Amino acid sequence: MKTIQDDPRIYELMRRELTRQQTTINLIPSENFVSEAVLDATGSVLTNKYSEGYPHKRYYQGQANVDEVETIAIERAKRLFGAEHVNVQSYSGSPANLAIFHALCTPGDTILGMRLDMGGHLTHGHKVNASAKFFNSVQYSVNRETGLIDMQEVRKLAREHRPTIIIAGCTAYPQIVDFAAFRKVAEEVGAYLLADISHIAGLVAAGVHPSPFPHADVVMTTTHKTLRGPRGAMIMCTKLDRLANVEGLDEKKAAKARNLASKIDRAVFPGMQGGPHENVIAAKAVAFKEALSPEFKEYGAQIVRNAKALATTLQENGIKLVTNGTENHLLLLDLLPFGVGLGRQAAVALENAGIVTNCNTVPYDPSTPFKPSGVRIGTPMVTSKGMKEGEMRLIGTWMAMVIKDMKNTSLQHEIREKVWELCEKFPLYSERKY
Ligand code: DSN
C-alpha cells in the first residue's frame, strides 16, 4: 500500500495548501476550517464502502457500521435544527436543491428564487443552470435603495406566477432572512417554501439567526460553511406534506401523497444519486456533535460580532457596504464609488496582501459577473482561528488601505508581512503535515 508521500507532486501541493491556509487571512464567507475530527472522518476507511439505500434498507451487504453512522448523523441533525425528518446523503448543495425540485415539482413547474446577481444562488433558477432549464424560473431582486429583499416584489411575483416552490435563501445577503414573511406568501399562493440556509446554518444552529422551522416545508443546507463540517449537504423537512392533494385517492395512496419525508428520500436516492459517501456522512455526524456543544453557540455569536466589527471599521475607513452593514457572517463591499468593475482587481490586491476574499456582483451592478463591482467577505474562518473584534479592526483597516490604493504593490507587501505576523499568533492545524 502506498502512502501519500509516494505521490510527491500531490503531497507537495497539499503541504503548500496547508501553509497557505495557515499564513493568510481567509475571509471567503462560504469556507471554514473543520476540526481534526472532521478531517479524520472524511479521510477514513468508510470511503471504501458502498451503501445505496437507507439505514437497514440497503442494496449491499456489510452495512452494520455504516447503518449506525448514518443513523447517528440523522439523529444529531434532527436535534440540532429541530427537524422532523433529515436526509444526510446529498453530495452537495446543488444536487440537493435539484433533488428537492424533483420531489415536489414536475418539469415545467414554476419556481421562484432570488436572482444570482442580487445575492441568490445558481440553483435557485439562474438561466444557465439546470434549475432554469427543467423548470420555469421566476426571480426576485432586492430593493435598489436599501439592498434588502423586497417582500412586496416576492408577493407580487408569487401571485402573478403561482410557483410550486418559493425559495428563501442567499449567498451574498448580509441581513436576516424573514422566513415567516416568506411562509405567509407561500401560503397565500399554495406554494411550498424551501429555505436554503447553506450560508447561515451554523448561525441558525448557534441560535444567532432565526430558524427556518416551523415556517419552511423543506430546508436544505450545505454542511461545510458556517456549520463547519465536511463538504456536503443535507435536506430537512416536515414529515407531512402540507399541500398534498389526496382528494379521490384510496387510503394507501393518500398516505403516500401525504408523506413528504419519503418523497424527499426517494428523490435523493434513487431519484438523484447512487451510493452515499459514508465517510462524509460520518464527518457530518462529527460536525453536528460539535455544533450541539455550548462552545459552538459562542462561536456563532462571535462570528456575528466579528462581522459587525469588520463592517464598522471598513465603513469608518470609507468603504461602502451593501445594506449598510451586516447582521450575519457576511459583508458585501460596494466598490462602485471607486469605479465600475473593480471587484476582481481589489480581490487580487487583497490576496497579494495575504487577505483572501472573492469578487462578487453588487445589486444592480452595471458591470458583468466576471468583472463585478463588489467584494464578498465573511468571518467564519477568522473566528474559527480564534480572532476577535480587535483583530477585525486591524484587518478592516488593512483592507481599506489596500482597496483605496489598489495598484500600490509595496503597500500590499508591507501588509502581507503584518498578516503573516498576525497569523502566527493564531496557529491552525499545528500538528498536521498536510
Ligand atoms: N459557492 C457557494 C458560495 O461561495 O456561496 C455557493 O454555492
Domain residue ranges in the chain = 40-291, 294-424
Q: How far apart are CA 426 and CA 343, in angstroms?
A: 28
Pocket test for ligand 1, best of 198, 332, 361 (most atoms within 8 A of CB): 198
Pocket of ligand 1 (CB under 6 A): 30, 93, 121, 171
Interacting residues of 144 by C-beta distance below 8 A, sequence separation 6+: 363, 364
Q: How far is the CA of 408 from the centre of ligand 1 (A)?
A: 30
The verdict on domain 294-424 having CATH code 3.90.1150.10 is yes
Residue 389 annotated as catalytic: no
At position 31, the amino acid (one-letter code) is E
Backbone angles phi, psi at 280, to 5 degrees: -70, -35
Q: How far is the CA of 56 from the centre of ligand 1 (A)?
A: 34
Q: How far is the CA of 362 from the centre of ligand 1 (A)?
A: 15
Residue 225 annotated as catalytic: yes
Q: How far is the CA of 222 from the centre of ligand 1 (A)?
A: 10
Residue 222 annotated as catalytic: yes
CA-nearest residue for atom 6, ligand 1, is 171
**For residue 128, what is its C-alpha cell?**
444557465
Give the active site residue among 70, 117, 196, 241. 196
CA-nearest residue for atom 3, ligand 1, is 30
Give the active site residue among 15, 231, 320, 404. 231
What is the 3-class SS of the chain, one letter each residue?
A: CCCHHHCHHHHHHHHHHHHHHHHCEECCCCCCCCCHHHHHHHCCHHHHCCCCEECCEECCCCCHHHHHHHHHHHHHHHHHHCCCEEECCCCCHHHHHHHHHHHHCCCCCEEEEECHHHCCCHHHCCCCCHHHHCCEEEEECECCCCCCECHHHHHHHHHHHCCCEEEEECCCCCCCCCHHHHHHHHHHHCCEEEEECCCCHHHHHHCCCCCCCCCCCEEEEECCCCCCCCCCEEEEECCECCCCCCCCCCHHHHHHHHEHHHHHHHHHCCCCCCCCCHHHHHHHHHHHHHHCCHHHHHHHHHHHHHHHHHHHHHHHCCCEEHHHCCCCCEEEEECHHHCCCCHHHHHHHHHHCCEECEEECCCCCCCCCCCCCEEEEECHHHHHCCCCHHHHHHHHHHHHHHHHCCCCHHHHHHHHHHHHHHHHCCCCCCCCCC
Kind of pairing, strands 25-26 and 355-356?
A: parallel
**For residue 208, what is its C-alpha cell?**
444567532
Give the active site residue among 23, 40, 49, 52. 52
At 1 the pLDDT is 72
Q: How far apart are CA 174 and CA 303, in angstroms?
A: 13
- In degrees, rounded to 5, the angle at the alpha carbon of residue 331 between the alpha carbons of residues 328 and 334 is 150
Residue 110 annotated as catalytic: no
Q: How far apart are CA 313 and CA 331, in angstroms?
A: 12
pTM for this entry: 0.97
**For residue 9, what is its C-alpha cell?**
507532486
Give the active site residue among 155, 225, 263, 385. 225
Q: How far apart are CA 1 and CA 48, in angstroms?
A: 15
The verdict on domain 40-291 having CATH code 3.30.450.20 is no
Grid-cell match 418539469, residue found:
107
Q: How far is the CA of 121 from the centre of ligand 1 (A)?
A: 7
Mean pLDDT by 10 residues, the chain (434 residues): 92 98 98 98 98 97 98 98 98 98 97 97 97 98 97 98 98 98 98 98 98 98 98 98 96 97 98 98 99 98 98 98 98 98 98 98 96 98 98 98 98 98 97 91
Residue 52 annotated as catalytic: yes
Q: How far is the CA of 61 from the centre of ligand 1 (A)?
A: 36
Residue 196 annotated as catalytic: yes
At 243 the pLDDT is 97
